[in-house]
Amino acid sequence: MIAKIYSALPQGFSGKLVEVEGDSNRGLPTFNIVGMAAKTVSEARERVRAAITNSGFQFPAKKVTINLAPADLPKDSPGLDLPIAISVLALSSQLQHPSLSKALFAGELSLDGGIRPIKGIINIVEIARDQNFTKAIIPTANLPQASLVPGIKVIGVSSLIELFLQLHGQNSSILLNTKNNDFHNFITQRPLTPIVKITCSDNDPYSRNHHNEFINPPSSKTTSAQTPRSSTVVKNTNIGVTPHYPPTIVKKTNIDKHIVVKNNQTSFIDHTYPLLDHIYGQELAKRALTIAVAGHHNILFSGPPGAGKTLLAQVARNLLPDPTPEEILEITKVYSLLDSNFYNIKTRPFRSPHHTASPSSIIGGGSQALPGEITLAHKGILFLDELPEFSRNVIEALRQPLESRQVTITRTGNRSTYPADFMLIATMNPCPCGHLSDPRQSCTCTPQQISLYQKKLSGPILDRFDLIIHVKPVKSTDLLPPSGKTVAKNTKSSKQPSPPLQHSVVKNNISEAINRQFTRYHSPGHFNSLLTPSEIETLTSPVHQLLEAAIEKLHLSARSYFKILKVARTIADLDDSPVINISHLSEALSYRS
């Protein structure tokens, strides 16, 4: 007898369909798994045997062989435990159902028959949808991630018994080995683990594309003590999402809480990162940061220690607009490859690796070609503090991802491509001691030390930054209130309204500039930094003449030429200007010094 169950494995940013074929014959009782199974899959024999027995089923006393096809695909995932167990149960006629061949199964088994969450569940569910399966049956703990995928019904189960009851509730034609009276007593007397129902509000932007329902909904007579034994089912539907970011207003309620009001809905700003109002002085640097965030440009801050470079980079976390549902799916898909329980998307990623990080941890790699920091920063920010302190291999490895917005990792027998659409923010000191050109303190470095330090950043890497800003030390007059004056404190009895926060005004301007970009290019997520030479608008004669003069004087490369135009286009968007003016180009040129 042959049984065939379908599953899938995550491979890179996509996945591969796997056929779990089972065969049982007379002979000495053995259990073999073939098909290029790694250690994790080979150990599934003991997990599957114990899970079947402890769930009240009978493991067949025959020679059982499981083949994982295609045989030339390396298989290293505990997610094949569940389809292997179902194949064994189908071989022994303990579980037979017409929908087994129309569903895709994935999950790790525990020894007591429970089903644990697995990594890369979004890849697996997308394979089930693309291969036209009617449903995907996965661990209940993976439902928050899997429910983001539209276009397929997702069923969550937490044990083999729960899966049996779910199939039985859907169709009474299931065949049961009636000779096993112990099994009947087990499923009628053993209490089941309560099932967690995922509730989604219609106003929740993170769940607008799916809803939940029960296979066996409770009747009107069902009391709270009579919880039906049923599984959670998620049906996903495609719902149109506007590509625009509506204007954002920040309201300050007290010192510790800042609320973003958006489309009459509220969400909280990440309090672990500062706001623009927390930075004193540095108006030029804050202006440059605003332009960088609005156009998704890479920016480099250079200046002495204590000037506020790191603080400026951290402010960008709260200036970014909230991710759209499509971007939430992409971000969650990346993190699900490393964490089976990850589901906390409120803001865009902000990755800040230490300067001792290896090239594999930044770019990605390992035996399984897993994603690195540049992929974990997808649709967010990659912050490299003290950029020259990173190894030269790490810095130079950023060249290709910064241009192509993706990275391909090649290992022996494994090749994976991951997205890497991130905004790079970096900081550096002008010299090893950090006080070169510092009016407050003289530099103690030798010319050779300064030259070697600055040469850690090659010309091609510096050319990939759209804005390069020199941050000067903050004046004491900007840090302290004027002499003889006190800072007024807000009280509840005060009738005068509080002045608007600088952060709220800037974030609102950024949102409007992003809306203009998406409207102009008819594509959500298409920022000015992604423009191709053919998409850059034609300049007026005075602007073109100024640009030609700047190219000759500054000896700009072709890449720098287009980057200046992209930055000028973002400045024009912030000013709500349909064309690039001389003032916009002049400001863009000032950020290339």
> Tens of pLDDT along 402-431?
999 999 998 877 788 999 999 999 999 999
Rg for the chain, CA atoms, rounded: 29
E-state strands within 303-452: 350-351, 364-365, 370-371, 381-384, 406-411, 414-419, 423-428
Which band of pLDDT confidence, cut at 50, 70 and 90, is reported for residue 439? confident
pLDDT at 457 over 60: yes
Instruction: Please provide the CATH number assigned to the domain covering 274-479.
Output: 3.40.50.300
Lowest mean pLDDT among 286-295, 534-543, 578-587: 534-543
36-72 pLDDT per residue, tens: 988 889 999 999 999 999 999 999 999 999 999 999 8
Which band of pLDDT confidence, cut at 50, 70 and 90, is reported for residue 480? low
What are 17's strand-pairing partners? 8
pLDDT at 291 over 90: yes
Rounded CA-CA distance 445/94 in Å is 78
Burial of 13 (0-12, 13-18, 19+ CB in 10 A): buried
106 or 12: which leads in pLDDT = 106
The class (CATH top level) of 2-236 is alpha beta
**pLDDT of 228:** 39
Domain boundaries, the chain: 2-236, 274-479, 531-590
CB atoms within 10 A of CB 344: 10
Rounded CA-CA distance 512/414 in Å is 43
Long-range contacts of 518-527 (CB under 8 A, 24+ apart): 518/243, 518/244, 518/245, 519/244, 523/243, 524/243, 524/244, 524/324, 524/326, 525/243, 525/324, 525/326, 525/327, 525/379, 525/421, 527/295, 527/296
Which band of pLDDT confidence, cut at 50, 70 and 90, is reported for residue 481? low
Token digits for 478?
A: 């900007």
What are 469's strand-pairing partners? 301
pLDDT at 498 over 90: no
**pLDDT of 207:** 39
**pLDDT of 483:** 52
374 or 265: which leads in pLDDT = 374
* Neighbour order of strands in the sheet with 381-384: 350-351, 381-384, 423-428, 299-302, 467-470
**pLDDT of 269:** 65
What are 214's strand-pairing partners? 232
**pLDDT of 339:** 86
Most confident of 79-83, 173-177, 504-508, 521-525: 79-83
pTM given for the model = 0.80
Rounded CA-CA distance 348/328 in Å is 9
**pLDDT of 256:** 37
Long-range contacts of 181-189 (CB under 8 A, 24+ apart): 182/56, 183/56, 183/57, 183/58, 183/94, 186/55, 186/56, 186/161, 187/56, 187/161
Say what percent of the chain tops pLDDT 90.
Answer: 57
Q: How far is CA 359 from CA 82, 366, 373, 381, 440, in A?
A: 36, 11, 10, 18, 37
Amino acid at 179: K
**pLDDT of 327:** 92
Rounded CA-CA distance 412/3 in Å is 33
Rounded CA-CA distance 450/473 in Å is 20
SS3 state of residue 174:
coil
Token digits for 304?
A: 């002495």
